């Protein structure tokens, strides 16, 4: 029954697609045009939509997949680390830093991503120029790699949005798990590393995964800072062949496939983290139960130990009497 329910959305989607394709044939039977059904599609793929340009766009755009992935992965790592730092600052309410964090998050959330890209692209050269003029250095203002601007803008953007996700995930960790870990003799750092991070990761995987998919699609704006990724390549190829639609359609299909692969990977990671979290909780509970002084087995063990000790004392006393 569950498998049928899972397949139902796909069946409905395929049905809607079939109905849509059949609806395209209706005008040929109602309205008389210059072309019949078969002649229209021959004309369409010959003069309107160029199949050759469409298929030739795929390998050219696919060559820029590594550039897109590099910008996505590095920006995600930078955003995750900075987001964790910002989340810890807010949780611990660090004076001054917490106010600066709030100002930073408000600014990033209140400005468009493309504007942030422009600020990094035009602001970094000005900073380097000011340093050169003040300290007599000779930094090459025009030699900064375009990938740096992309990582700076996207990393800070991800940090601002991801910090709230990470904070809520950390605060969602059951305090009972933390207390159980401390009762086993763990330090605060060990508790954070072995308990808080693992449990928070299981909670934050889904929203952070969605943010990663959004980041992958957001890298399509990187062309504004002269970074040639897939979208920039589609524009270049479309400009050389004057077949923009075919190139953009190929670009959309490549992005679609990449996002589907990411969704599958994120789903598996989330499932693995949840299974590991359940096993860890079970093991920790068993250890706590075994070491608890209120456990029946613990009481029996203690009684048995005391009984053995009394027997040993009694046996030693008897030996002393016999020696005398």
283: confidence class by pLDDT, cuts 50, 70, 90: low
Residue 44 lies in a domain: no
Give 116-130 pLDDT, tens digit per residue.
999 999 999 999 999
Same domain? 283 vs 228: yes
Using CA atoms, how far apart are residues 35 and 12, in angstroms rounded to an integer? 33
Give 95-109 pLDDT, tens digit per residue.
999 999 999 999 999
Residue 270 lies in a domain: yes
Same domain? 152 vs 232: no
Last residue of a domain, one of 129, 153, 171: 171
Is pLDDT above 90 for 270? no
Is pLDDT above 90 for 1? no
Residue 252 lies in a domain: yes
Question: Residue 122's domain is classified under what CATH number?
Answer: 1.10.3720.10
Q: Given this model, what pLDDT does residue 114 score?
A: 96
To which residue do tokens 């063990």 refer? 301
Residue 94 lies in a domain: yes
Using CA atoms, how far apart are residues 199 and 274, in angstroms rounded to an integer? 8
Same domain? 211 vs 129: no
CA 148 to chain centre: 20
181: confidence class by pLDDT, cuts 50, 70, 90: confident
Angle between helices 146-171 and 113-135 (to 10 degrees): 120
How large a percentage of the chain has pLDDT more than 70? Answer: 82
Residue 54 lies in a domain: no
Same domain? 79 vs 166: yes
Using CA atoms, how far apart are residues 70 and 219, in angstroms rounded to an integer? 10
Residue 257 lies in a domain: yes
CA nearest to 231, candidates 125, 75, 72: 72
226: confidence class by pLDDT, cuts 50, 70, 90: very high
Same domain? 86 vs 160: yes
Domain that holds residue 261: 201-289
Residue 66 lies in a domain: no
Number of domains the chain is built from: 2
Same domain? 86 vs 153: yes
Is pLDDT above 80 for 91? yes
Last residue of a domain, one of 171, 189, 209: 171
Same domain? 274 vs 233: yes
Same domain? 138 vs 225: no
Q: Given this model, what pLDDT does residue 36 score?
A: 78
246: confidence class by pLDDT, cuts 50, 70, 90: very high
Residue 313 lies in a domain: no
Is pLDDT above 80 for 202? yes
Is pLDDT above 80 for 59? yes
Same domain? 83 vs 166: yes
What average pLDDT score do residues 9-17 get? 84
Using CA atoms, how far apart are residues 37 and 39, in angstroms rounded to an integer? 6
Same domain? 223 vs 157: no
How large a percentage of the chain has pLDDT more than 90? Answer: 53
């Amino acid at each position: 029954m569950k498998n049928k329910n899972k397949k139902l959305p796909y069946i409905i989607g395929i049905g809607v697609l079939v109905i849509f394709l059949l609806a395209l044939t209706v005008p040929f039977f109602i309205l008389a045009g210059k072309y019949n059904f078969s002649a229209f599609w021959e004309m369409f793929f010959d003069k309107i939509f160029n199949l050759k340009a469409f298929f030739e766009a795929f390998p050219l755009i696919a060559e820029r997949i590594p550039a897109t992935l590099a910008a996505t992965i590095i920006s995600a790592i930078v955003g995750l680390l900075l987001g964790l730092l910002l989340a810890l600052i807010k949780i611990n309410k660090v004076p001054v830093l917490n106010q600066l964090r709030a100002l930073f998050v408000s600014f990033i959330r209140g400005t468009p991503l493309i504007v942030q890209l422009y600020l990094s692209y035009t602001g970094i050269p000005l900073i380097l120029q000011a340093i050169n003029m003040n300290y007599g250095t000779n930094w090459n203002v025009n030699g900064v790699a375009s990938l740096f601007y992309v990582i700076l803008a996207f990393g800070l953007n991800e940090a601002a949005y991801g910090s709230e996700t990470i904070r809520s995930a950390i605060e969602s960790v059951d305090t009972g798990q933390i207390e159980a870990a401390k009762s086993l003799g763990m330090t605060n750092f060990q508790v954070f590393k072995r308990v808080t991070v693992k449990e928070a990761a299981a909670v934050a995987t889904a929203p952070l995964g969605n943010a990663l998919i959004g980041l992958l699609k957001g890298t399509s704006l990187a062309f504004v800072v002269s970074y040639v990724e897939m979208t920039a390549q589609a524009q270049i190829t479309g400009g050389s062949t004057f077949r923009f639609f075919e190139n953009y359609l190929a670009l959309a299909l490549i992005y679609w496939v990449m996002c589907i692969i990411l969704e599958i990977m994120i789903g598996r990671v989330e499932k693995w983290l949840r299974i590991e979290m359940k096993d860890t909780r079970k093991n920790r509970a068993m250890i706590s139960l075994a070491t608890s002084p209120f456990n029946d087995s613990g009481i029996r063990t203690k009684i048995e130990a005391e009984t053995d000790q009394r027997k040993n004392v009694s046996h030693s006393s008897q030996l002393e009497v016999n020696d005398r």
